[in-house]
Structure 1
Amino acid sequence: MKIAFYGSSLLSSYWNGAATYYRGLLKALSRRGYEIVFYEPNAFDRQKHRDIEIPEWCDVVVYEATPDALMEAASRAAEADIVVKASGVGFEDEALLRAVLEHSGSNALTVFWDVDAPATLAELRDAPDHPLHAALKRIGLVLTYGGGDPVVWHYRALGAAECVPIYNALDPETHHPVALEDRFACDLAFLGNRLPDRETRVESFFLEPAEALSGQRFLLGGAGWGDKLLPANVSWLGHVGTRDHNAFNVTPKAVLNISRDSMASNGFSPATRVFEAAGAGACLITDAWAGIEMFLAPGEEILVARDGADVAEIMRTLTPRRAKAIGAAALRRVLAEHTYALRAELVDAIFKAHFERLRVEAAE
């Protein structure tokens, strides 16, 4: 079957945290026989910061961020059996959604793939005239980056025919243990772009512990932090490309995951960082959110902090030996239960069940 996938970017992770999620899932779906074309706008300088070139398992069409180019890309939806519009594409999302639905074939499965469901649902609650309200009645399936039952219930209440969370996971061919690199040597590292709905949490969970632990070294990676006042023991690296993520994760004694406000409040939304770090064998500290135990065992495979004081206390007592043991345990768990091959198996079953229902209905 052919998939037309409209998303932010497959080729660049620059201001685009969903890139590794798209890559892992689509690569695994390709291995299950799907022919995939990914459509992404030339926006936010992402094409100047590519992490990968067009892969052998997926074709990519980069279109200019203009209305005419958008409509041309959307018209290609007519060629696909499955048409996916992701959230947060970044250029005229509402127009793209309308155009993609208009051009999809009558027998095609239309999918809204929400990579920030808690934030999208909050927006829908605040905007009763949002175009997605009407579109949900036409869309065949909603898939989400996570969110658990709370997200499923909300989407169904809004009229979605079906909603299934497809959680982040690990591609062991991409994220795996590597040799340590001196440039990433530190006690605690955090990698994340500067975003309005996460900055306060970064201050609490990362910068305040750094101030409290002046004798330890901290590394901050990600775009947008250049004019942020940082403690003297925090070094800012700027954007860290995906090719460096394994070394960034495994070299420090520990790495930190900090959720965005909406995902922390909703829970059941592990970031790609969780599985990438575990896949590299890193000792991961995460802020507390509901559902962590579904993915990694607190205290054994991951360390959980309720606030910055917890982070500081963890770092005061964390020994290199314990950090290595936690990282090794996390790696074993994600390889056994949280790979993109397993996530793609679920997506494949959902797609095939939809088309089987259509076949049965047509035969009646």
Structure 2
Amino acid sequence: MTKALDIVFLGLSLSSSWGNGHATTFRGLLRALHKLGHRITFLERDVPWYAHHRDLRDPDFCELRYYDTVDELRRNHQRDLRRADVVVVGSFVPEGRAIIDDLASLCTGQFCFYDIDTPVTLARVAEDDCDYLARRQIPYFDVYFSFTGGATLERLKSEFGARSAEPLYCSVDPERHHWTGSTIKWDLGYLGTYSPDRQQTLEALLLEPARRLPDRRFVVAGSQYPGDIAWPNNVIRIEHLPPAEHADFYSRQRYTLNVTRTSMIAAGWSPSVRLFEAAACRTPIISDCWPGLDSFFPASAIRTASSADDVTGILLRQSDRARLSMAKQAHSLVLTRHTGAARAREFTSVLRQPRQMRPVLDLNIESAA
């Protein structure tokens, strides 16, 4: 697009990265769109758990506004939403179904959905157990942007009726994620909020290696871990790590571990933002295995593991030369293909495509409630 666009995002959170990965994703994309000259507004539900942990209160790349209820959103922001060139609703927005129904009849510009949780969303939608999106609403979006690529994009169209499904993967900001020069402190680290479906893999690929290698140092950073987890003595725990500290955290690790949620593994083509952050910091990555991983990082740029034996073998036997060569390749790939600037260009490029006729919204369906 050649003209500056007026873009409104409604997302889970921009102001707080506490307990969610949405904020980091939105920050990188919106910052890059702002640099391209577009006008950005972000509307966020004002909820106490994010209000108490805000680490970005006054962004310089967009206007951040809060609302308390859907009715307040209608009253106070209707004019901005109606005149916007593009309105994007994100996954996990509270009362998203009601908001989408309002916007589908209100928006005069392009109306899009950005799913940062696509496999989770589609599983819930299929069971009619998704409070932020209904199956019947999917065809109303001009573009359904998805964190997950591969076969899921065709499934969105053939099974769920999306008129256009495009990948818009997570990204990294090289100005904020880069090698800091800090001395290595840990042999292996992990950054991620607690998730039950990741815990077994974290146990196998980090906690068990820590038990087997008591002279090595490990670290796990992230919130919401249960109090009954038996952390080995050589595993340091960091309860919450603000985004501003991610680069130094990665720079202090010989290797970092990537662990993928079960639903993301099943869908494939679902890279975590932590992969790109670590690579941008030149930190070598050990990852669990999932379909499509090699389309982002070839085998020469990453190590995969499925057991504690795999991890301990890498830590004990891979040379520093091989380790650094792997990190260099991953770093080059990320800076070329997976920055916020790259995603912003992909986003606006999709919006150039001709729009299809939007169906008439039927508000008399019970599932809209």
TM-score normalised to structure 1 length: 0.89
Tell me the secondary structure at the aligned position of residue 236 of structure 2. strand
Secondary structure (helix, strand or coil) at the match of 1:225 reads coil
Matched, 1:123 2:106: no
Which residue pairs with 2:60 in the alignment?
56
Residues 256-265 or 336-345, more deviating: 336-345
Match status 1:265 vs 2:269: no
The number of aligned residues is 349
Partner of 1:98: 101
Offset of residue 340 of structure 1: 2.0
| Corresponding residue number in structure 2 for 1:42 | 46
For the Cα contact (< 8 Å) 1:121–1:154, is it kept in 2? no
**Counterpart position of 1:4:** 8
**Partners of 1:256 and 1:41 in 2: CA distance:** 32
Does the Cα contact within 8 Å between 2:146 and 2:166 map onto a contact in 1? yes
Q: How does 1:23-38 map to 2 (within 5 A)?
A: 23-38=27-42
Q: Which amino acid aligns with 1:31?
A: K
Hey, what does 2:363 align to over in structure 1?
Answer: none
- Supply the distance in 1 between the matched residues of 2:7 and 2:253 (Cα, whole angstroms): 39
Structure 1 runs (4+) greater than 4 angstroms displaced: 128-131
Q: 1:138 deviation in Å?
A: 1.6
Match in the other structure for 2:176:
174
Give the CA deviation at 1:18.
Answer: 1.8
Alignment of 1:206-285 (within 5 A): 206-225=206-225, 227=227, 228-285=229-286
What is the DSSP-based 3-state SS (H/G/I as helix, E as strand, rest coil) of the residue aligned with 2:161? coil
8 Å CA contact 2:193, 2:223 repeated in 1: yes
Assess, with a 3 A threshold, how the Cα gap between structure 1 residues 70 and 309 changes in structure 2: closer, same or farther.
Answer: farther
How many angstroms apart in 2 are the aligned matches of 1:129 and 1:348? 28
Residue number among 159, 162, 174 corresponding to 2:161 in the alignment: 159
In the TM superposition, what is the alpha-carbon distance from 1:60 to its structure 2 partner? Answer: 0.8
Q: CA deviation at 1:167?
A: 1.4
Q: Identity of paired residues, percent?
A: 31
Could you tell me which of 82, 85, 100 is aligned with 2:86?
Answer: 82
Q: Which has the higher contact order (CA 8 A, sep 6+)?
A: 2
CA contact (8 A) 1:74 1:96 kept: no
Q: What do the CA deviations read for 1:131-150 (whole angstroms, capped 9, x no partner)?
A: 521111222110011x2222
Q: Report the secondary structure of 1:61's partner residue.
A: strand
Q: CA deviation at 1:181?
A: 5.6
> Displacement of 1:186 after TM fit?
1.1
Shift of 1:226: 5.4
Q: Where in structure 2 are there 5+ consecutive unaligned residues?
A: 358-369
Query: What's the secondary structure of 1:253's corresponding residue?
Result: strand
Deviation at 1:73, TM superposition (A): 5.7
Q: Does residue 307 of structure 2 align to residue 307 of structure 1?
A: yes
Matched to 1:48, the amino acid is H
Q: 1:346 to 1:218 in 2, by over 3 A?
A: same
Structure 1 stretch displaced more, 345-354 or 241-250: 345-354
**Equivalent in the alignment of 1:362:** none
Shift of 1:128: 8.2
Which ranges in structure 1 are unaligned for 5 or more consecutive residues?
Answer: 359-364
Structure-2 change in CA distance of 1:313 and 1:47 (3 Å): same
One-letter code aligned to 1:71 = R
12-21 vs 120-129, greater mean Cα deviation: 120-129
Measure the CA separation in 1 of the matches of 2:222 and 2:98. Answer: 30
Distance 1:149 1:296 in 2: 15
Q: CA deviation at 1:48?
A: 2.7
Cα distance, 1:319–1:53 mapped onto 2, change above 3 Å? farther
The 1:214/1:342 distance shift into structure 2, 3 A limit, reads: same
What is the aligned partner in structure 2 of residue 341 from structure 1? 341
Higher mean displacement: 27-36 or 125-134? 125-134
The answer to whether structure 1 residue 20 and structure 2 residue 20 are counterparts is no
Task: Return closer, same or farther for 1:203/1:97 CA change in 2, 3 Å cut-off.
Answer: farther
Shift of the 229–128 alpha-carbon distance from structure 1 to 2, 3 Å rule, reads closer
Distance 1:181 1:88, change over 3 A: farther
What is the CA distance between 1:164 and its match in structure 2?
A: 0.3
Tell me the alpha carbon deviations over residues 191-250 of structure 1, each in whole angstroms, 9 at most, x when there is no partner. Answer: 100123322222222222222222211101000125122122211111001111001111
Contact 1:181 1:247 in 2 (8 A): no
Whether contact under 8 Å (1:85, 1:100) holds in the other structure is: no
